[in-house]
Structure 1
Amino acid sequence: MAANDLPAQIDYILSASRTGARQVFYVGHSQGALSFLSSLSGGHLPPSTVAAAFLLAPVTSLAHLSSPVAHEAAKLDLDRFVRATHLHEFSLRNALGELVVATACASPRINCSSLLSAFTGPNCCIDIRYFAKLVPWFPLASSVKNMAHFGQMVRSGEWKQFDYGFLKNWLRYHQSTPPFFRPSAFPSTIRLAIAYGGRDSLAAPADVEWFISKLAQRPKVMYMPNYAHLDFLFASFVVEDVYTQIVRFFTDYGLDRAYE
């Protein structure tokens, strides 16, 4: 996603633009933020194509991840499961997803009557009526390789590329272990804002603050002490709390810069 998908998406958006835009203003939540940061820090996305970015609950290092569901799910060797079943899609509605949920719920540390909170943290303000309308499609499926990579990050606590094993790492990376992504490699030419929550068990405050401290620039920072991971999407007052700040941030920067 970081190496190919996101650069291709942004290239398509700019090439299809009827307004002559040369840059995008990017908003990413969770893995949307992770893909963006990895793409730029890894040298895959040209910095000149992005004017500014506002990242919500960004996931990078997982050294302080406290989600018991994520920790239990990470114990599964998803790569081995793929080789045995030839199943490449991860969904809570297929056999692999059911295995992950069953494994997590077998832990005495996890209250599966509130699986959402056990995974993302105690969200303070989710609009239940709105969220209920999304349940048939939430969460969307992902690739098994993506989930396997997430599992590697949970187990190591580190923000680095996919671990293919000793031999394949040498063939792909010319070293025995996968390279780290480094926050200091994020281009300082892109104006950056970051919002994170004090109750988030996936994008833990300590991990977000570590990332911010290692950047070559000083981003705009919004700390929401009562927010957990999904409040940034589904909180009743997220428009007033966060989204108006996103629009103001981009407007203050100058949306017209994208056309220069």
Structure 2
Amino acid sequence: MDPSRPKFWNWSWDELVTFDLPAVFDLVYKETGQKIDYVGHSLGTLIALASFSEGRLVNQLKSAALLSPIAYLSHMNTALGAAAARAFVGEITTLFGLAEFNPKGEPVANFLKALCAYPGVDCYDLLTAVTGHNCCLNSSTVDLFLKNEPQSTSTKNMVHLAQTVRDGILAKYNYGRTDYNVLHYGEAYPPVYNLSNIPHNLPLFISYGGRDALSDARDVDTLLDSLKHHDVDKMTVQFIKEYAHADFIMGVDAKDIVYNAVVSFFKHQH
């Protein structure tokens, strides 16, 4: 399909769970013949948790490291994020008539400008406005990142994430009308992803930051609570007080603090 056509963008993170992640796993598994150690950050943790809860991928999986996990987003405390979640009242699947949500395009820039005028939203530093105060970024890494990011996503995906923020549960996309939901799911409300169904013996490494505004520590506590029956010796939790959302991927000391711990965790699972 062609990205210039609206149909290309008719997906939310449900499709990443159902099609995208399994395709990646199938390819790697086929090429290597080995079970997979998965590392996800942010949305990459959400789709992994949702997949594992449905029993997908677990046969090809050795262990999973989830950095800055987002599953519950009720406490997301970035002023910009909270304003955006209110603005994306789900039912506008094609906001401004756009199926593609391109952060670098004019319509989205105008939308962000309007949000930035909300009381309490300071967009002087957009990265901070979205992720919280990162402690450990250097400017050359950020410059490189901003050359390639943020990439487009679908407006429908943004709406789905906003629903996740507002409803406080992990559920499939809500079409906003009972008849549409019945058509898609056979029931009036979207099915919920039940995280307590994740196999209790699946080795999990979870790392989160004390200053992360997207993956708020209270929401991570809710996630950990839903995993409370997990085998104790199969779960490692790391809390880094001074880290925010982007530190996990761009922090100058992320290798020493996070990645070495992840690699060591993977090695111990064999």
Query: In the alignment, what sits opposite 2:268?
Result: 252
- Pairing partner for 2:249 from 225, 230, 233: 233
Matches within 5 A, 1:1-260: 1-17=16-32, 20-21=33-34, 23-43=35-55, 45-74=56-85, 75-77=87-89, 79-80=91-92, 82=94, 85=97, 87-164=98-175, 165-215=177-227, 216-217=229-230, 218=232, 219-254=235-270
Pairwise CA distance, 1:81 = 5.9
SS of the equivalent of 1:112 reads: coil
Worse-matched range after superposition: 134-143 or 91-100: 91-100
Distance change (3 Å), C-alpha of 1:213 and 1:9: same
Pairwise CA distance, 1:77 = 4.0
In 2, the alpha carbon distance for the partners of 1:96 and 1:49 equals 41
In 2, the alpha carbon distance for the partners of 1:77 and 1:209 equals 26
The residue type equivalent to 2:199 in the other structure is P
Q: Which stretches in structure 1 are left out of the alignment for 5+ residues?
A: 255-260
8 A Cα contact 1:25 1:53, kept in partner: yes
Q: Number of residues paired by the alignment?
A: 249
SS of the equivalent of 1:36 reads: helix
Query: In the alignment, what sits opposite 1:257?
Result: none
Identical columns (%): 32
Pairwise CA distance, 1:84 = 5.9
The residue type equivalent to 1:233 in the other structure is I
Q: TM-score, normalised by structure 2?
A: 0.87
In 2, the alpha carbon distance for the partners of 1:246 and 1:119 equals 25
Cα deviation code 1:154-181 (max 9, x no counterpart) = 2222221110121121122222111222
SS of the equivalent of 2:125 reads: helix
Q: Which stretches in structure 2 are left out of the alignment for 5+ residues?
A: 1-15
Distance change (3 Å), C-alpha of 1:111 and 1:46: closer
The residue type equivalent to 2:223 in the other structure is F
In 2, the alpha carbon distance for the partners of 1:81 and 1:153 equals 15
8 A Cα contact 2:65 2:205, kept in partner: yes
Distance change (3 Å), C-alpha of 1:78 and 1:102: farther
Distance change (3 Å), C-alpha of 1:70 and 1:84: closer
In 1, the alpha carbon distance for the partners of 2:197 and 2:114 equals 37
8 A Cα contact 1:62 1:159, kept in partner: no
Worse-matched range after superposition: 87-96 or 183-192: 87-96
Distance change (3 Å), C-alpha of 1:96 and 1:163: farther
Pairwise CA distance, 1:79 = 5.0
SS of the equivalent of 2:94 reads: helix
Pairwise CA distance, 1:103 = 2.5
Pairwise CA distance, 1:143 = 1.5
In 2, the alpha carbon distance for the partners of 1:248 and 1:84 equals 47
The residue type equivalent to 2:71 in the other structure is T
In 2, the alpha carbon distance for the partners of 1:186 and 1:127 equals 37
Query: In the alignment, what sits opposite 2:8?
Result: none
The residue type equivalent to 1:8 in the other structure is A
In 1, the alpha carbon distance for the partners of 2:75 and 2:90 equals 22
